[in-house]
Structure 1
Amino acid sequence: MAEHRFEDFNGLVIFRRNYKEKDMLVKILTDRFGKKMFYLRGANSPRFRMAAAILPFTKAEYGGDIRDDGLSFLNNVKSASQFQAISNDLFLNAYATYILNLIDVAFPDSQPLGFWYGRIEQALTLIDEGFDAAMITHIIEIQLLQVFGVQPHLESCVVCGRTDLAFDYSESYGGLLCQRHWHLDPNRLHANSRAIYYLRLFSVIDLFKIQSVTVKPETEAALKAIVDQIYQNSVGLVLKSKQFIDKMFTFDSAMPKLKKVAPEIDRSSKDD
C-alpha cells in the first residue's frame, strides 16, 4: 500500500487537464516533494472552492494528502496568487510555459528539486515584473544543461585553460575553445563574441541578483542560436512550447527593440 501523509507545501501550477466529467488532474511543482499530480474531484464544478488556486501560472500555499506513488490530493489552500502579467500576455505566457515544461522534463516526478524550486519561482517572478522573458528563459536553459547531463566547459578554454582570448563554442570539445585553438575544430559554431559572453555569464548568474543590462536583437538571436543547437544536438530535446516560441521569435525579430535583463555580476555590461 502506497504511503501517504498530510502536509503543507508551496507550489506552482505546471498544468491541468480535465478528468472524467467534473474532475481535474493538476500537476504542481512543489517546494518539498518535487512534481506531483493531484486529483481534484469536482474541480470543473462552478462553485469549486479551490478554483482560483489551480489556475495556470498560480503559486500558492497548499495543504494536501501527499502519496509516494500514484495521485495525490489537495485538501485546502491557505494563500494563492497568480502571475498576472504572464497570464494576460501571450508572449510571456509562452516563455513561462516553456520554463515549466523544461522542469517537468528535466526532473522525475516526486524527486525533490532543492534550490531549483526557488530558482523557477524567481524566474517567473522576474518575467511577471517586466524583465525580458527571452533572456530569463535562456538563463534557465543554460543552467539546466547540467541537470540534463550536459556540462559544457564555459569557464575557460578546454584545451589550455586561458581566459584572456576570444572564445568560440565547440560541440566536439564540449565547451569553449580560445582563439589559439580554433583550428582544432573547423565545425565550431563561429559564434558571435557577445553571444559567447552571455552564454558564459548566464551559466553562473544568480537570478536573485539581477538588475539591468541591454542586449541588442542581433546578440539575442545569436545567443538563441547557440542554446538551440546545444539543446538539439546534446540534449536532444525540442518541446512543443519551444516550437511556439521559435515562431514568435521569427515574428518578433522584425520589430527592432532593446532587451532588458539584469546581471549584478557585471554591472557595467552593455552590448555596445
Structure 2
Amino acid sequence: MAQHVTDFHGILLYRRDYAERDFLIKFFTLEFGKKIFLIRGAKKRGFKMTADILPFTVGSYVGDIPDQGLSYIRTARETTQFQGIGADIFKNAYATYIMSLVDIAFPDSQPLPDWYHRVYRALELIDEGQNPAIVTNVIEIQLMPAFGVAPQLQGCAICGRTDLPFDYSESYGGLLCQQHWSADPRRLHLGPRTIYYLRQFSILDLDRVHHIKVKPSTEHALRQLMDEIYASQIGVHPRSKRFLDQMQDWAPRLKTPPAHDEDD
C-alpha cells in the first residue's frame, strides 16, 4: 500500500473519540479528498497540536497519507479556526450540515479540489456573517448531481424554452415552462422569486458573492423545496439536518440572526 509523507491542506469535517487518549479526525483535504487521521495522545494535557485540531479548523499540515486506511498527522504548519462559526449556534449548525452533506456525497480518497474550494468559500461566507441558510441552499443545489439527481434548472424539461414562467416538477426532473404546466398536476406551484433563485444558485460562483439578501418568504420557500427534493429524490437526512430543523423551532426563543427584508 502506497504511503506518502507530504504537506496537505485540510478542512476539519469532524472528530471522534478513539480509545482513551486518541481522536479520529476526518479532514476534507485539497490534495487527497476526504481522509481519516488517527491523532494519538490528542487528549493528553499539553498536546502540542490541540489548537490545530479543534472543530471548524482549516490549515496546512504534514502527514503520512496512505492510499487507503488511516492516515497520521506529523505536525501542523499553519492553521486557523472559523471563529464566528464556532461562537454562534446558528452558524455552527448550518456549517456542520454543509460538511455532513459533503461527507456523504463523495467517496473517501477522491481528490475534489473544486469542491474543497467551494466548501471553504461557503464556510468563509457564513463565518463573515452572510445568511447561512442561503449559503447552505447554494451548496445543496450544487451538490445534487453528486447524489445522482441532476434536475433541469435552466430551461423547460420538456421543450427547453427559457422565456416563459416556470414551475418545478419532480415527475419531470426539473422546471416546466408555463406551456407545459398541465403535464404535471402535482407540480410544486413555486413563486417566481423562488424559481429565480433556484436557477441562479445552480450556477452561482460563491467567489463572486459578497452580500446576500433574500426575503424571509423566499428563504422559507427555498428551504421547503430543498427539504422536499432531499427527502423524496435523494433520501439523505443526516443527523446534523435534524438538529438544524430543531434549531428552527427554538429560534423564536433565542437571539436570531438579523432579518433579511428585501431581495436585491
Tell whether the structures are fold-level matches, with TM greater than 0.5: yes
Aligned residues: CA RMSD: 1.7
Note if contact 1:168-1:188 (Cα within 8 Å) is conserved in structure 2: yes
Residue 216 (structure 2) pairs with residue 217 (structure 1):
yes
How many residues align? The count is 262
Q: CA deviation at 1:213?
A: 4.2
Q: Can you list the C-alpha shifts for 1:210-256, whole angstroms capped at 9, x where unaligned?
A: 03342111111101111111111111111111111122224437979
Q: Which moved more, 1:90-99 or 1:205-214?
A: 205-214
- What amino acid sits opposite 1:259 in the alignment? H
Distance 1:174 1:40, change over 3 A: same
Superposed, 1:78-227 pairs within 5 Å as 78-227=77-226
Q: Can you list the C-alpha shifts for 1:58-95, whole angstroms capped at 9, x where unaligned?
A: 00100000011211000011101000000001110000
SS of corresponding position for 2:96: helix
Distance 1:112 1:56, change over 3 A: same
Distance 1:242 1:207, change over 3 A: same
SS of corresponding position for 2:100: helix
Give me the identity figure in percent: 52
Instruction: Please give the alpha-carbon distance, in whole angstroms, between the structure 1 residues aligned to 2:2 and 2:48.
Output: 27
Q: CA deviation at 1:190?
A: 1.0
Note if contact 1:217-1:253 (Cα within 8 Å) is conserved in structure 2: no
Distance 1:183 1:155, change over 3 A: same
Instruction: Please give the alpha-carbon distance, in whole angstroms, between the structure 2 residues aligned to 1:52 and 1:8.
Output: 18
Cross-structure match for 2:259: 258
Structure 1: where are the runs of 5+ without partners?
A: 261-269
Q: Can you list the C-alpha shifts for 1:97-150, whole angstroms capped at 9, x where unaligned?
A: 001101100011111113000000010001001111000000000000011111
Note if contact 1:214-1:258 (Cα within 8 Å) is conserved in structure 2: no
SS of corresponding position for 2:79: strand
TM-score, L = length of structure 2: 0.95
Cross-structure match for 1:55: 54
Q: Which moved more, 1:173-182 or 1:246-255?
A: 246-255
Distance 1:229 1:253, change over 3 A: farther
Cross-structure match for 1:264: none
Structure 2: where are the runs of 5+ without partners?
A: none
Note if contact 2:130-2:212 (Cα within 8 Å) is conserved in structure 1: no
